[in-house]
Amino acid sequence: MMDSIPSEVPPPNLHDLAEDHYFSANPPPKDLDKHTALAREFIDYHAAAGRPLVLITSGGTTVPLEKQTVRFIDNFSAGTRGATSAEYFLEAGYAVLFLHRQFSLLPFSRHYSHATDCFLDFLREGPNGSVVARDEDAAKMLHVLRKYRDARDKHMLLVLPFVSISDYLHELRSIARLMKPLGPLGLLYLAAAVSDFFVPPDRMSEHKIQSTDAADSVDKKKEPAKSVVDEETFDNFDSSPTVPRSKSLVIDLDPVPKFLKNLVEGWSPQGMIVSFKLETDPRILVHKARYSLDRYQHHLVIGNLLSTRKWEVVFVAPGSPDRWIRIPTVPHKQSSVGISTPADAASIAGEVEKDEPLDP
């Protein structure tokens, strides 16, 4: 006999089922509870002050190939867009929760963190064994330092790291849920480059994937490695034919469930949600951005192409024509649909030629 389902309990939808399955199958990052506590304290503090708060995601997510991870697939992103945008949001009075890929660019320190902008190049020896900024760099360094200290001292910036795609999704879900009390004062600005594919844990090797069967004899369940080796076979890294030639590696990846729907409808239903769409083929960028907006029903998709992302982006919003924003000082390859001010463009595009934000 079948139990009758009470009519007031809606049946779980596919997005909820996918969410439950993904988050129970993929373990959370070890610091999730600590990060959630920090985020809660930060969000509650700013919510009580009635201050707008933005969660910026930044940097690329990794896809581990092994549980004890030696190898992983990565997504392109230096974190420039996120780190630069964070500075502009702070300038505009937002508190910034910066969820970023560990070791990617950070607001303020990004000015001095690249190999081409190594902080040591901006310093010189001062009197009595001290270290000071070089005269020609001091004014800018002081400006950046003051902004950084101001943000830190006023508790306006909280920086939390992630590494893998599952770390990212666990962190995003926890933080987005905490943002509910902010209502429309909460903005989610999703600039992180998020993997579309991953290796599910039940198919993931515990240990480093072996490239030869040299270790097979150690594993009693397997046949001992063959000791007779074809004269022509060589290990990849060793020209002596002591071990059989390397195995090829075939990786079978599953699609990462699309959680933007869950974010919009469940995790942060009142928040303002801005996502980025990255493509390499100009013919599909706007179509994909519009498709994402129609599908997830959020507030804005900012489209960008890998090759031109520093100079131009396209805003795709509900009920509005597509709006291109281009930084006018950079020579154009295509004609503009609409050029706004450099300040507008820099605050969205994240950077110009030398990773310098234009002054508003």
Q: Which residues bind ligand 9Z3 (CB under 6 A)?
A: 77-81, 190-191, 193-194, 275-278, 304, 309, 350
Tell me the residue ranges of DSSP E strands in 246-318.
254-255, 272-279, 300-305, 312-316
- CB closer to ligand 9Z3, 95 vs 165: 165
> Could you give the CA distance from residue 123 to residue 128 in angstroms, rounded to a whole number?
15
As measured in angstroms, the least distance from the Cβ of 194 to ligand 9Z3 is 4
- CB closer to ligand 9Z3, 77 vs 268: 77
As measured in angstroms, the least distance from the Cβ of 334 to ligand 9Z3 is 18
Alpha-carbon dihedral of residues 92, 94, 98, 103, nearest 10 degrees? 30
> Residue 206: helix, strand or coil by DSSP?
coil
- CB closer to ligand 9Z3, 165 vs 178: 165
As measured in angstroms, the least distance from the Cβ of 191 to ligand 9Z3 is 5
> Could you give the CA distance from residue 71 to residue 68 in angstroms, rounded to a whole number?
9
As measured in angstroms, the least distance from the Cβ of 119 to ligand 9Z3 is 20
Provide φ and ψ at 146, rounded to 5°: -65, -45
Q: Locate 149 and state its tokens.
A: 């200290």
- CB closer to ligand 9Z3, 47 vs 313: 313
Q: Locate 79 and state its tokens.
A: 């974190």
As measured in angstroms, the least distance from the Cβ of 55 to ligand 9Z3 is 13
Tell me the residue ranges of DSSP E strands in the chain.
53-58, 63-64, 72-73, 95-101, 123-125, 131-133, 157-162, 186-190, 197-198, 254-255, 272-279, 300-305, 312-316, 323-326
- CB closer to ligand 9Z3, 65 vs 193: 193
| Contact in structure between 193 and 59 (CB atoms under 8 Å) | yes
- CB closer to ligand 9Z3, 47 vs 99: 99
- CB closer to ligand 9Z3, 39 vs 273: 273
As measured in angstroms, the least distance from the Cβ of 275 to ligand 9Z3 is 4
Q: Which of 251, 257, 193, 254 is nearest to 62 (CA)?
A: 193
DSSP state of 98: E
Q: Locate 72 and state its tokens.
A: 């992983």
- CB closer to ligand 9Z3, 199 vs 293: 293
Maximum Cα interatomic distance, the chain, rounded to a whole number of Å: 88
| Contact in structure between 110 and 80 (CB atoms under 8 Å) | yes
As measured in angstroms, the least distance from the Cβ of 352 to ligand 9Z3 is 12
> Could you give the CA distance from residue 85 to residue 54 in angstroms, rounded to a whole number?
10
As measured in angstroms, the least distance from the Cβ of 153 to ligand 9Z3 is 27
Q: What is the DSSP pairing of strand 72-73 with strand 63-64?
A: antiparallel
